[in-house]
């Protein structure tokens, strides 16, 4: 690469970092080193977006609105639902896993964050100093935690909260931090599913592990790539009846405010390709010169195109138990909210109604973390988990809490 181009790119990336006030799904961990940068076969060339509104990025980024007591009364919910704080003071609370004993495990994407367990209102720190220990998953009483490149296993965690011990069962994931934080979950096949995000905004990596969902046995053996063409999924689950995989994906940046849409995807079988980096939202072909031109018809389109930049993270099918019957087996998606859009959007829980495998309706289940009148924000929903009684836990990595939402007519 020419020296001038390199200097310009360095300046551009540095400027982006400067204007970005807080971290977000798309840019946290963006500090690419020269080495990481080389992984990309194409560079982040600042080009003319079709809509220039967010070209500079971070234009609308407002400071977090601070409250002494979180203003839960600002959260809008359907009639009959209530929200309360389930656990507070969990720094940058991200992925959730809930044991059958009712212990809540909370990951974080903080660079040297702590994995926390919450049991009977008491908190336990299970690890510290790990690199973005975002993913948490449980199987047979063991807790699995995903850092950027490693998977740890805590045997019989429930009985070892005071003195947790872990072993690394896999350490071969890429070390790139850009989209390197991981959501993890066990599938109906009892295997651990682990995504690997694209290490960039738009690039095609030589290594097919990037922009994928992988899976492995619970001892770390037989890692394989299962799904392709996924920019950055930070939430997935399986339909309670069909057992099909459903996952969110975060759309590319710097194409303006309104394209491409973020995605909810449906994978009824292994080995599918969901478009990235060639095609976005099912019908917009990539125009970066460094990316081979491919037709969108070659790839699987999203089950639902969400709004641009909303950053869909957690996804859950609603179980029976607490929510009214009409919600059962419908989908909730946590939209973490935009970071580089002129006017913010997202910051809500979306309720998506299914007819078979088709999403036929998109409505807001919960919002109010964003005040659109001045674009201020006090919370950002991340992951969700349903408790045994059917009430819903939601993590918030800005307010540093876990909420409980329940129906109480």
Write out the residues near Ca ion by the rule CB under 5 A: 274-275, 383, 385
- Taking the least distance from each CB to Ca ion, the nearer of 114 and 385 is 385
The H or E element spanning position 214 is strand 212-216
Query: What are the start-end ranges of the E strands in 356-400?
Result: 358-366, 370-371, 376-377, 381-386, 392-396
CB of residue 150 to Ca ion, shortest distance in Å:
21
Rg (CA), the chain: 20
Please, which residue, 9 or 296, has the CB nearer to Ca ion? 296
- For residues 37 and 253, which CB has a smaller minimum distance to Ca ion in the complex? 253
Nearer to Ca ion by Cβ, of 20 and 205: the residue is 205
**CB 96 to Ca ion: min, Å:** 6
52 phi and psi angles, rounded to 5 deg: -85, 0
58 within 8 A of 339, measured Cβ to Cβ: yes
Nearest to 226 by CA among 182, 263, 274: 274
What is the DSSP pairing of strand 358-366 with strand 224-228?
Answer: unpaired
Nearer to Ca ion, 65 or 273 (CB): 273
Q: Measured from the CB atom, is 331 or 354 closer to Ca ion?
A: 331
Distance of closest approach, residue 316 Cβ to Ca ion, in angstroms: 5
A 10 A CB-CB count for 62 gives 14
Q: In angstroms, what CA-CA distances link 352 with 234, 253, 328, 333?
A: 18, 24, 11, 8
Q: Which is nearer to Ca ion, 16 or 279 (CB)?
A: 279
Query: Closest distance between Ca ion and the C-beta of residue 229, in Å?
Result: 6
- When the beta carbons of 40 and 383 are compared against Ca ion, the nearer one is 383
Tokens 């029976």: give the residue. Answer: 320
| Closest by Cα among 213, 234, 177, 233 to 382 | 234
Residue facing Ca ion at closest CB distance: 275
Rounded to the nearest whole angstrom, what is the least distance from the CB of residue 216 to Ca ion in the complex? 19
- C-beta of 122: minimal distance to Ca ion in Å? 22
| Own/partner pairs, 74-80, CB within 8 angstroms, 24+ separation | 74/368, 74/369, 74/371, 74/378, 75/366, 75/367, 75/368, 75/369, 75/403, 76/364, 76/366, 76/367, 76/368, 77/365, 77/366, 77/405, 78/365, 80/324, 80/407, 80/408, 80/409
Whether residue 199 contacts residue 31, with contact meaning beta carbons closer than 8 Å, is answered with: no
Between CA 261 and CA 277 the distance in angstroms is 14
Q: What does the CA dihedral 193, 198, 201, 205 come to, rounded to 10 degrees? A: -160
Contacting residues for 130 by C-beta, under 8 A, at least 6 apart: 112, 113, 115, 145, 147, 152
Q: What is the CB-side half-sphere exposure of residue 216 using CA atoms within 13 A?
A: 19
Q: How far is the CB of 12 from Ca ion (least distance, A)?
A: 26
Q: Which is nearer to Ca ion, 110 or 279 (by Cβ)?
A: 279
Nearest residue (CB) to Ca ion, 274 versus 403: 274
Distance in Å, CB of 153 to Ca ion, minimum: 19
DSSP 64: B
CB of 213 to Ca ion, least distance (A): 12
Instruction: Compute the least distance from the CB of residue 368 to Ca ion, in Å.
Output: 21
């Amino acid at each position: 690469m020419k020296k001038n181009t390199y200097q310009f790119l360095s300046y551009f990336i540095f400027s982006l970092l400067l204007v970005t006030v807080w971290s977000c799904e798309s840019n946290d961990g963006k500090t690419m080193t020269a080495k990481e940068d080389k992984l990309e076969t194409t560079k982040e060339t600042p080009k003319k977006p079709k809509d220039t509104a967010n070209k500079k990025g971070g234009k609308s980024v407002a400071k977090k609105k601070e409250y002494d007591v979180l203003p839960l009364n600002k959260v809008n919910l359907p009639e009959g639902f209530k929200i309360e704080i389930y656990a507070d003071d969990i720094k940058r609370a991200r992925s959730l896993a809930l044991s059958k004993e009712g212990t809540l495990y909370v990951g974080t994407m903080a660079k040297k964050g702590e994995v926390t367990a919450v049991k009977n209102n008491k908190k336990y720190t299970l690890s510290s100093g790990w690199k973005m220990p975002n993913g948490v998953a449980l199987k047979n009483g063991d807790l699995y935690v995903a850092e950027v490149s490693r998977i740890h296993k805590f045997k019989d965690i429930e009985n070892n909260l005071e003195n947790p011990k872990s072993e690394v069962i896999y350490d071969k994931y890429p070390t790139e931090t850009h989209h390197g934080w991981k959501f993890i979950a066990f599938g109906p096949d009892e295997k651990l599913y682990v995504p690997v995000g694209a290490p960039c905004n738009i690039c095609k990596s030589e290594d097919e592990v990037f922009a994928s969902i992988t899976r492995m046995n619970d001892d770390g053996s037989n890692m394989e790539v299962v799904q392709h063409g996924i920019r950055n999924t930070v939430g997935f689950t399986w339909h309670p009846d069909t057992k099909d995989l459903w996952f969110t994906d975060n759309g590319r940046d710097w194409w303006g405010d309104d394209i491409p849409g973020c995605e909810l995807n449906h994978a009824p079988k292994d080995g599918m390709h969901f478009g990235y980096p060639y095609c976005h939202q099912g019908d917009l072909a990539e125009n970066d010169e460094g990316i081979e031109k491919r037709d969108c018809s070659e790839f699987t389109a999203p089950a639902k195109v969400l709004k641009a930049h909303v950053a869909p993270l957690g996804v859950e099918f609603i179980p029976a138990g607490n929510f009214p019957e009409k919600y059962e087996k419908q989908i909730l998606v946590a939209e973490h909210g935009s970071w580089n859009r002129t006017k913010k959007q997202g910051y809500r829980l979306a309720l998506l109604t299914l007819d078979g495998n088709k999403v036929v309706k998109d409505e807001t289940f919960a919002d109010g973390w964003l005040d659109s009148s001045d674009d201020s924000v006090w919370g950002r929903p991340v992951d969700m988990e349903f408790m045994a009684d059917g009430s819903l836990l939601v993590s918030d990595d800005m307010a540093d809490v876990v909420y409980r939402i329940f129906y109480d007519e």
